[in-house]
Amino acid sequence: MAQEFEPVGSTPFPAATAADVLFQLRCQAPLTHIITNHVVTNFTANLLLAIGATPAMLSDPQESSEFQSLAKALSINVGTLSQSQAVAIRAAVDAALEAGNPWVLDPVAVGPLSLRTRLCEALIQQAPSAIRGNASEIMTLAGFESVGRGPESVALSDDAVEAARSLAQQTDAIVAVTGARDYITDGEQVLRVEGGSALLTRITGAGCALSSLVAACLGTGRAPLEAAASACAFMAAASEIAEERSQGPGSLSVALLDSLYDLNLHDLERLES
Protein backbone atom coordinates (compact mmCIF):
# COMPACT_ATOMS: atom_id res chain seq x y z
CA MET A 1 0.00 0.00 0.00
CA ALA A 2 1.42 3.41 -0.98
CA GLN A 3 2.38 5.75 1.82
CA GLU A 4 2.12 9.55 2.01
CA PHE A 5 5.73 10.27 1.27
CA GLU A 6 7.40 11.90 -1.70
CA PRO A 7 11.12 12.63 -1.48
CA VAL A 8 12.24 15.56 -3.58
CA GLY A 9 13.02 14.52 -7.14
CA SER A 10 11.46 11.05 -7.14
CA THR A 11 8.53 9.96 -9.29
CA PRO A 12 6.12 7.10 -8.57
CA PHE A 13 6.56 4.29 -11.07
CA PRO A 14 3.30 3.69 -12.98
CA ALA A 15 1.63 0.32 -12.64
CA ALA A 16 0.65 0.29 -16.30
CA THR A 17 4.29 0.35 -17.37
CA ALA A 18 5.14 -2.46 -14.96
CA ALA A 19 2.22 -4.50 -16.33
CA ASP A 20 3.51 -4.01 -19.87
CA VAL A 21 6.96 -5.26 -18.87
CA LEU A 22 5.31 -8.22 -17.12
CA PHE A 23 3.50 -9.11 -20.35
CA GLN A 24 6.77 -9.01 -22.29
CA LEU A 25 8.52 -11.11 -19.65
CA ARG A 26 5.88 -13.83 -19.81
CA CYS A 27 5.79 -13.84 -23.60
CA GLN A 28 9.57 -14.06 -23.98
CA ALA A 29 10.56 -16.11 -20.89
CA PRO A 30 14.12 -14.73 -21.17
CA LEU A 31 16.88 -17.23 -20.40
CA THR A 32 18.69 -15.67 -17.44
CA HIS A 33 22.11 -16.89 -16.34
CA ILE A 34 22.40 -16.59 -12.57
CA ILE A 35 25.57 -16.89 -10.49
CA THR A 36 24.36 -16.42 -6.96
CA ASN A 37 25.07 -17.51 -3.41
CA HIS A 38 24.53 -21.08 -2.29
CA VAL A 39 21.88 -20.12 0.26
CA VAL A 40 19.35 -18.77 -2.24
CA THR A 41 19.88 -20.77 -5.44
CA ASN A 42 16.69 -22.83 -5.21
CA PHE A 43 14.49 -19.94 -4.06
CA THR A 44 15.80 -17.66 -6.81
CA ALA A 45 15.24 -20.23 -9.54
CA ASN A 46 11.71 -20.94 -8.35
CA LEU A 47 10.87 -17.23 -8.11
CA LEU A 48 11.93 -16.59 -11.70
CA LEU A 49 10.04 -19.64 -12.92
CA ALA A 50 6.92 -18.52 -11.04
CA ILE A 51 6.78 -15.14 -12.75
CA GLY A 52 7.58 -16.54 -16.19
CA ALA A 53 11.32 -16.20 -16.76
CA THR A 54 13.77 -19.05 -17.44
CA PRO A 55 16.65 -19.32 -14.93
CA ALA A 56 19.92 -21.17 -15.48
CA MET A 57 22.11 -21.64 -12.40
CA LEU A 58 25.61 -22.19 -13.83
CA SER A 59 28.83 -21.41 -11.95
CA ASP A 60 31.65 -23.34 -13.66
CA PRO A 61 34.09 -20.80 -15.17
CA GLN A 62 34.18 -22.42 -18.62
CA GLU A 63 30.44 -23.04 -18.83
CA SER A 64 29.69 -19.59 -17.43
CA SER A 65 31.59 -18.09 -20.33
CA GLU A 66 30.12 -20.36 -22.98
CA PHE A 67 26.53 -19.95 -21.79
CA GLN A 68 26.38 -16.24 -22.55
CA SER A 69 25.95 -17.02 -26.23
CA LEU A 70 22.62 -18.62 -25.28
CA ALA A 71 21.42 -16.37 -22.46
CA LYS A 72 19.56 -13.07 -22.67
CA ALA A 73 20.88 -11.65 -19.38
CA LEU A 74 23.28 -12.32 -16.51
CA SER A 75 22.83 -11.85 -12.76
CA ILE A 76 25.84 -11.76 -10.41
CA ASN A 77 25.51 -12.09 -6.63
CA VAL A 78 28.56 -12.26 -4.33
CA GLY A 79 26.77 -13.44 -1.19
CA THR A 80 28.85 -16.60 -0.61
CA LEU A 81 31.84 -15.59 -2.69
CA SER A 82 34.87 -17.85 -3.06
CA GLN A 83 38.03 -17.53 -5.11
CA SER A 84 36.77 -20.09 -7.64
CA GLN A 85 33.40 -18.38 -7.95
CA ALA A 86 35.16 -15.06 -8.52
CA VAL A 87 36.86 -16.64 -11.55
CA ALA A 88 33.49 -17.78 -12.89
CA ILE A 89 32.00 -14.34 -12.29
CA ARG A 90 34.76 -12.58 -14.20
CA ALA A 91 34.46 -15.06 -17.07
CA ALA A 92 30.69 -14.66 -17.25
CA VAL A 93 30.83 -10.86 -17.18
CA ASP A 94 33.48 -10.77 -19.91
CA ALA A 95 31.37 -13.10 -22.05
CA ALA A 96 28.18 -11.12 -21.40
CA LEU A 97 29.85 -7.94 -22.55
CA GLU A 98 31.16 -9.68 -25.66
CA ALA A 99 27.69 -11.05 -26.41
CA GLY A 100 26.04 -7.69 -25.76
CA ASN A 101 23.94 -9.10 -22.92
CA PRO A 102 22.79 -6.93 -20.00
CA TRP A 103 24.16 -7.92 -16.62
CA VAL A 104 23.25 -7.06 -13.03
CA LEU A 105 25.47 -6.83 -9.95
CA ASP A 106 24.21 -7.54 -6.43
CA PRO A 107 27.11 -6.42 -4.16
CA VAL A 108 26.08 -8.37 -1.05
CA ALA A 109 27.87 -7.17 2.12
CA VAL A 110 30.34 -5.05 0.18
CA GLY A 111 32.57 -2.94 2.41
CA PRO A 112 33.49 -4.98 5.50
CA LEU A 113 34.95 -7.95 3.58
CA SER A 114 37.97 -7.44 1.34
CA LEU A 115 37.58 -10.16 -1.32
CA ARG A 116 34.07 -9.17 -2.37
CA THR A 117 34.81 -5.47 -2.02
CA ARG A 118 37.78 -5.65 -4.38
CA LEU A 119 35.81 -7.76 -6.85
CA CYS A 120 32.77 -5.47 -6.81
CA GLU A 121 34.93 -2.38 -7.19
CA ALA A 122 36.44 -3.99 -10.28
CA LEU A 123 33.11 -5.19 -11.64
CA ILE A 124 31.43 -1.79 -11.53
CA GLN A 125 34.09 -0.68 -14.01
CA GLN A 126 32.84 -3.33 -16.47
CA ALA A 127 29.67 -1.65 -17.64
CA PRO A 128 26.97 -3.30 -15.51
CA SER A 129 23.50 -2.61 -16.86
CA ALA A 130 22.14 -2.39 -13.32
CA ILE A 131 23.29 -2.56 -9.71
CA ARG A 132 20.79 -3.61 -7.03
CA GLY A 133 21.55 -3.40 -3.34
CA ASN A 134 20.43 -2.19 0.05
CA ALA A 135 21.24 1.29 1.30
CA SER A 136 24.55 0.39 2.96
CA GLU A 137 25.81 -1.51 -0.08
CA ILE A 138 24.93 1.26 -2.51
CA MET A 139 26.40 3.95 -0.26
CA THR A 140 29.64 1.98 0.09
CA LEU A 141 30.05 1.45 -3.66
CA ALA A 142 29.28 5.11 -4.31
CA GLY A 143 31.98 6.21 -1.86
CA PHE A 144 29.54 7.52 0.74
CA GLU A 145 29.91 6.76 4.45
CA SER A 146 27.64 3.88 5.42
CA VAL A 147 26.96 1.43 8.22
CA GLY A 148 25.94 -2.18 7.59
CA ARG A 149 25.93 -5.61 9.20
CA GLY A 150 26.94 -8.06 6.51
CA PRO A 151 24.03 -8.34 4.07
CA GLU A 152 21.81 -6.23 6.35
CA SER A 153 21.56 -2.46 6.07
CA VAL A 154 21.45 -0.12 9.03
CA ALA A 155 20.81 2.84 6.72
CA LEU A 156 17.39 3.41 5.14
CA SER A 157 16.77 3.46 1.41
CA ASP A 158 15.46 7.02 1.83
CA ASP A 159 18.94 8.01 3.02
CA ALA A 160 20.71 6.48 0.01
CA VAL A 161 18.97 8.19 -2.91
CA GLU A 162 21.83 10.60 -3.55
CA ALA A 163 24.34 7.78 -3.27
CA ALA A 164 22.33 5.82 -5.83
CA ARG A 165 22.30 8.79 -8.20
CA SER A 166 26.03 9.26 -7.74
CA LEU A 167 26.79 5.58 -8.37
CA ALA A 168 24.62 5.61 -11.48
CA GLN A 169 26.54 8.61 -12.78
CA GLN A 170 29.88 6.98 -11.97
CA THR A 171 29.05 3.68 -13.68
CA ASP A 172 26.45 4.62 -16.31
CA ALA A 173 24.33 1.83 -14.81
CA ILE A 174 20.80 1.81 -13.50
CA VAL A 175 21.02 1.71 -9.69
CA ALA A 176 18.23 0.31 -7.54
CA VAL A 177 18.45 0.86 -3.80
CA THR A 178 15.79 -1.22 -2.10
CA GLY A 179 14.23 -1.24 1.33
CA ALA A 180 10.97 0.00 2.81
CA ARG A 181 10.77 2.07 -0.37
CA ASP A 182 12.65 1.26 -3.56
CA TYR A 183 14.41 3.92 -5.60
CA ILE A 184 15.61 3.28 -9.12
CA THR A 185 17.74 5.83 -10.95
CA ASP A 186 19.78 6.39 -14.08
CA GLY A 187 21.66 9.20 -12.36
CA GLU A 188 19.14 11.85 -13.37
CA GLN A 189 15.59 10.53 -13.12
CA VAL A 190 14.61 8.77 -9.88
CA LEU A 191 11.65 6.39 -9.88
CA ARG A 192 10.02 5.27 -6.65
CA VAL A 193 8.20 2.03 -5.83
CA GLU A 194 6.15 2.04 -2.64
CA GLY A 195 4.79 -0.89 -0.73
CA GLY A 196 5.94 -4.42 -0.13
CA SER A 197 5.86 -6.67 2.91
CA ALA A 198 8.14 -6.08 5.88
CA LEU A 199 8.16 -9.87 6.31
CA LEU A 200 10.54 -10.09 3.34
CA THR A 201 13.30 -9.20 5.80
CA ARG A 202 12.47 -12.42 7.68
CA ILE A 203 13.16 -14.78 4.79
CA THR A 204 16.50 -15.53 3.17
CA GLY A 205 17.04 -14.48 -0.39
CA ALA A 206 14.31 -11.96 -1.21
CA GLY A 207 16.78 -9.25 -2.18
CA CYS A 208 19.04 -11.70 -3.99
CA ALA A 209 16.12 -13.05 -5.99
CA LEU A 210 15.02 -9.50 -6.79
CA SER A 211 18.40 -8.80 -8.40
CA SER A 212 17.94 -11.83 -10.65
CA LEU A 213 14.43 -10.66 -11.45
CA VAL A 214 15.92 -7.32 -12.53
CA ALA A 215 18.21 -9.25 -14.88
CA ALA A 216 15.29 -11.22 -16.30
CA CYS A 217 13.39 -8.00 -16.98
CA LEU A 218 16.44 -6.54 -18.68
CA GLY A 219 16.56 -9.68 -20.81
CA THR A 220 13.28 -8.65 -22.46
CA GLY A 221 15.08 -5.78 -24.17
CA ARG A 222 13.01 -3.20 -22.34
CA ALA A 223 14.63 0.15 -21.41
CA PRO A 224 16.85 -0.56 -18.39
CA LEU A 225 15.26 2.00 -16.06
CA GLU A 226 11.76 0.66 -16.73
CA ALA A 227 12.93 -2.95 -16.50
CA ALA A 228 14.60 -2.49 -13.11
CA ALA A 229 11.69 -0.50 -11.67
CA SER A 230 9.24 -3.12 -12.93
CA ALA A 231 11.10 -5.89 -11.12
CA CYS A 232 10.86 -3.88 -7.89
CA ALA A 233 7.14 -3.33 -8.47
CA PHE A 234 6.57 -7.05 -9.07
CA MET A 235 8.22 -7.95 -5.78
CA ALA A 236 6.46 -5.20 -3.82
CA ALA A 237 2.97 -6.04 -5.06
CA ALA A 238 3.39 -9.81 -4.85
CA SER A 239 4.84 -9.66 -1.34
CA GLU A 240 1.92 -7.57 -0.07
CA ILE A 241 -0.53 -10.13 -1.43
CA ALA A 242 1.58 -12.99 -0.07
CA GLU A 243 1.59 -11.48 3.42
CA GLU A 244 -2.21 -11.35 3.40
CA ARG A 245 -2.31 -15.06 2.53
CA SER A 246 0.39 -16.27 4.93
CA GLN A 247 0.79 -16.96 8.64
CA GLY A 248 4.44 -15.92 8.89
CA PRO A 249 7.80 -16.09 7.11
CA GLY A 250 7.58 -19.79 6.23
CA SER A 251 4.25 -19.63 4.46
CA LEU A 252 5.18 -16.23 3.00
CA SER A 253 7.91 -17.85 0.89
CA VAL A 254 5.40 -20.18 -0.74
CA ALA A 255 2.69 -17.54 -1.05
CA LEU A 256 5.17 -15.18 -2.72
CA LEU A 257 5.74 -17.67 -5.54
CA ASP A 258 1.99 -18.09 -5.99
CA SER A 259 1.45 -14.32 -5.99
CA LEU A 260 4.12 -13.78 -8.63
CA TYR A 261 2.58 -16.53 -10.76
CA ASP A 262 -0.84 -14.82 -10.62
CA LEU A 263 0.41 -11.21 -10.73
CA ASN A 264 -1.59 -8.83 -12.92
CA LEU A 265 -2.28 -5.14 -13.52
CA HIS A 266 -4.87 -4.97 -10.75
CA ASP A 267 -2.31 -6.27 -8.25
CA LEU A 268 0.26 -3.73 -9.40
CA GLU A 269 -2.24 -0.87 -9.15
CA ARG A 270 -2.56 -1.43 -5.40
CA LEU A 271 0.91 0.12 -5.07
CA GLU A 272 -0.53 3.41 -6.34
CA SER A 273 -3.49 3.55 -3.93
pLDDT band at residue 6 using 50, 70 and 90 as cut-offs: low
Q: Which residues contact 118 (CB under 8 A, 6 or more apart)?
A: none
Report whether 139 belongs to an annotated binding site.
Answer: no
Nearest by Cα to 205 from 39, 51, 89: 39
CATH of 10-272 among 3.40.50.12370, 3.40.1190.20, 3.40.50.300, 3.90.226.10: 3.40.1190.20
pLDDT band at residue 152 using 50, 70 and 90 as cut-offs: low
Question: Residue 105: what pLDDT?
Answer: 99
What b/e readout covers 102-129, taking b as 16+ CB neighbours within 10 angstroms?
A: bbbbbbbbbbeeeebbebbeebbeeebb
pLDDT digits (tens, 9 = 90+) for 18-27: 999 999 999 9
Report whether 205 belongs to an annotated binding site.
Answer: yes
pLDDT band at residue 1 using 50, 70 and 90 as cut-offs: very low
Report whether 150 belongs to an annotated binding site.
Answer: no
Q: Domain spans of the chain?
A: 10-272
More confident position, 146 or 216: 216
pLDDT band at residue 140 using 50, 70 and 90 as cut-offs: very high
What are the φ and ψ backbone dihedral angles of 131, each rounded to 5 degrees? Answer: -125, 125
Q: Is the pLDDT of residue 178 over 50?
A: yes
**103-106: strand order across its sheet:** 10-12, 190-193, 182-185, 174-177, 130-133, 103-106, 73-77, 31-35, 54-56
Mean pLDDT of all residues in 105-109 = 97
Report whether 204 belongs to an annotated binding site.
Answer: no
Nearest by Cα to 186 from 259, 128, 110, 103: 128
Q: Is the pLDDT of residue 5 over 70?
A: no
Q: Is the pLDDT of residue 151 over 70?
A: no
Q: How far apart are the first and last CA of the chain?
A: 6
Q: How far apart are CA 29 and CA 15, in angstroms?
A: 20
pLDDT digits (tens, 9 = 90+) for 229-256: 999 999 999 999 999 999 999 999 999 9
